[in-house]
Amino acid sequence: MIHYFKGFRGCDSKCQYEIEKLDEDKVKVTLTELVDNKGTSITNMYEQIATEIYQKHLSSIYVENITWVEHYIGEGIFEETFDEVFLKWNGTNFHSIEWKRLT
């Protein structure tokens, strides 16, 4: 699915997202940077995008039961990458992002 969001300075931006059910109460959400995204990258807006997707699709899931992944499609000289993303939840939005490269 495509998620549209406002990036830096209100620029129109978009990414792809996939919600995968891992078991009855756990999910994995993968955000993919689209090569035709002319706006702000998912890396720079991950907390905002995660908050929007959580509020729209996942509010019945405990935040501790969500695994977040950042995905960049390999293109040209760049390799495809996947990073697990760790976020903190303050009851309103995600913040304090950290990444760990997946192999």
The model carries a pTM of 0.94
pLDDT of 7 > 80? The answer is: yes
The total number of structural domains in the chain stands at: 1
Residue 90 pLDDT grade (very low, low, confident, very high; cuts 50, 70, 90): very high
Domain that holds residue 37: 2-102
**Cα-atom radius of gyration of the chain, to the nearest Å?**
13
Residue 77 pLDDT grade (very low, low, confident, very high; cuts 50, 70, 90): confident
What is the rounded average pLDDT of the residues 55-76? Answer: 94
Residue 103 pLDDT grade (very low, low, confident, very high; cuts 50, 70, 90): confident
Q: For the chain, first and last CA: distance in Å? A: 24
pLDDT of 76 > 80? The answer is: no
What is the rounded average pLDDT of the residues 2-27? Answer: 96
3-state secondary structure of 101: strand
3-state secondary structure of 32: strand
